[in-house]
Structures are given as structure tokens and as C-alpha cells.
Amino acid sequence: MATYFEMGGYAWFVWPAYAFSAAIMVGLVVTSLTALRRDRKILDALEAANPRRAMRREAAAAATANSEEATSDA
């Protein structure tokens, strides 16, 4: 087992390479998901704080095409 982790003497190169790759990937996942959760909460709060129907109708009329189209197309 210990010899395996030594990686033929290259442990200090192999494992950091894997660790760095893992760190990048975990970092991407964590930042993406926290941002998604945070924004979802903000949106829910915004929609809850406002009279929903009126808000929606207005939003549909005035919101930039991007958010509307994006939601229906994606």
C-alpha cells in the first residue's frame, strides 16, 4: 500500500497533479451550485414579496427578451 502511494518515487508530482485537478473541479461545482442556490433564493423572495400576477404580467411585457426566451427555450 505504502509503496503504491510512493508512485515509484514520483509521489510529489503525481498526487499534486490529481489534487490540483480535483480542487479545480470541486471548486467549479461548489461555486456554481452556491451561486445557483443563492440566486434562486433571491428570486423566490422577490417573487414572493410582490403581488405575483401583476408582477408576472409586467415582467412578461417589459422584461428584456433574453430572460423570457431563455427560460422557454432552454
Considering only CA atoms, give the Rg of the chain: 23
Does 10 help bind other proteins (rule: CB under 8 A)? yes
Instruction: Give just the sign of the alpha carbon dihedral 46, 51, 53, 57.
Output: negative
Is residue 52 involved in binding other proteins (CB under 8 A)? no
Is 13 near other proteins (CB under 8 A)?
A: yes
Determine phi and psi for 10, rounding to 5 degrees.
-105, 20
Q: Site residues (CB under 8 A) for other proteins?
A: 7-10, 13-14, 16-18, 20-21, 24-25, 27-29, 31-33, 35-36, 39-40, 42-43, 46-47, 50, 55, 58-59, 62-67, 69-71, 73-74
